[in-house]
Amino acid sequence: MGLKSYISSPYIKHQYEWDEIITSYRIFENDKPLNIEIGPGKGKSLLNLGDRFPEKNFVGMEKTPRCLKEFRRKAEKKRLSNIFVFHCFIEKMLEANVTDNSIENFIVFFPDPWPKKKHRKRRFLRKKGLSLLETKLKKNGKIFIKTDFMDYWVEILGTIRELRGLFLESFGKVKSWQSPFNVPTNYEQKYYRMGKEPFYLVVQKI
């Protein structure tokens, strides 16, 4: 499946229109630390992070046009200067357009859980995806993760222990996570309304 539609906005660029390396200078014309949110959906967390950390830049990577249209509406209203989204496939963009050791932090809030056993190999935060994030992180850079799927959370905990370059800094229930990176997301609010209790992990590159 490809990325068929093009969504026009100063805050969004399609992966097929961009063949450069992603840097703060090229996107924002400054040298603030670059953070990437994987699958920001409609962008609630991205907009909150941009607002909360004016000293950092935030780039989202999202494939779903419906979500991007909603993000565009909110971003053009809020007019932050430190947020941007690529309409792309995460894996393709990270591999081709992000330099190793260049990202301050990754944010991965509520990645697709692929609950059926036969689909679990499609989960992004398995060995391959986590190793890719590790490669792109700066030394001491972090991955902030939230999920409502306990099974996925437990799987990630196990994988981190197997990866030599990553260290588990903290984990637990989202309600007890004291961090300025703990901003609400659309899915999180939906899960709370359903009575679910999401979990978080903070992982650091050694």
Ligand X SMILES: C[S@@+](CC[C@H](N)C(=O)[O-])C[C@H]1O[C@@H](n2cnc3c(N)ncnc32)[C@H](O)[C@@H]1O
| Selected binder of ligand X within 51, 80, 186, 192 (CB under 6 A) | 186
| Selected binder of ligand X within 34, 49, 67, 166 (CB under 6 A) | 67
Look up residue 177 and give its two tokens: 């996570």
Cα 35 to chain center, whole Å? 9
Residues 6+ apart with CB under 8 A from 66: none
Residues numbered 101 to 120 that lie near ligand X (CB under 6 A) are 109-112
SS (H, E, C) 34-78: EEEEECCCCCHHHHHHHHHCCCCEEEEEECCHHHHHHHHHHHHHH
Is 64 among the residues that bind ligand X (CB under 6 A)?
yes
**Which range binds ligand X by CB under 6 A, 6-14, 25-33, 55-63, 69-77?**
55-63
Residues numbered 116 to 175 that lie near ligand X (CB under 6 A) are none
Is 198 among the residues that bind ligand X (CB under 6 A)?
no
Q: Give residue number: closest CB to ligand X.
A: 39
What single-letter DSSP state applies at residue 8? -
- DSSP conformation letters of 143-181: EEEEES-HHHHHHHHHHHHH-TTEEEEEEEEGGG---TT
**Which range binds ligand X by CB under 6 A, 50-58, 125-133, 153-161, 186-194?**
186-194
Residues recognised as catalytic: 112
**Binding footprint of ligand X on the chain (CB under 6 A):** 39-41, 61-64, 67, 89-90, 109-112, 185-188
